Amino acid sequence: MQADSISEQRLLQKIRQLPPEKVLLVEDFIDSLDRQNTDRSLTFAAAKLSEPVLLKIWDNPDDVEYDKL
């Protein structure tokens, strides 16, 4: 826990030393990281939701031979 606090303090010190336009760039970068994380979460959730439906298509007697590959 203490290491997290030290890292946070170091980052805050660095951000405070930046000019305002650079702080905006840092904020944009953090927002883009958050969006990427959200996008991955949504993609994973959509894939999990589609599994039962796709399983009906993938798991059929006509494709048994392909299952052996």
**Cβ-based neighbour number of residue 2 at 10 Å:** 6
Question: Residue 7's pLDDT band (boundaries 50, 70, 90)?
Answer: very high
Residue 9, domain member (yes or no): no
- Residue 69 clears pLDDT 80, i.e. is over it: no
Q: What pLDDT shows up at residue 1?
A: 55
Q: What pLDDT shows up at residue 12?
A: 95
**Long-range contact pairs involving 22-28 (C-beta distance under 8 Å, separation at least 24):** none
Residue 26's domain comprises 19-67
pLDDT tens readout for residues 17-50: 999 999 999 999 999 999 998 988 999 999 999 9
Residue 1, domain member (yes or no): no
68 — phi, psi (to 5°)? -80, -15
Residue 46, domain member (yes or no): yes
Residue 6, domain member (yes or no): no
| 19, two tokens | 């000019």
In the 8-state DSSP scheme, what is residue 61? G
What amino acid is encoded at 58 in this protein? W
Q: How many domains does the chain have?
A: 1
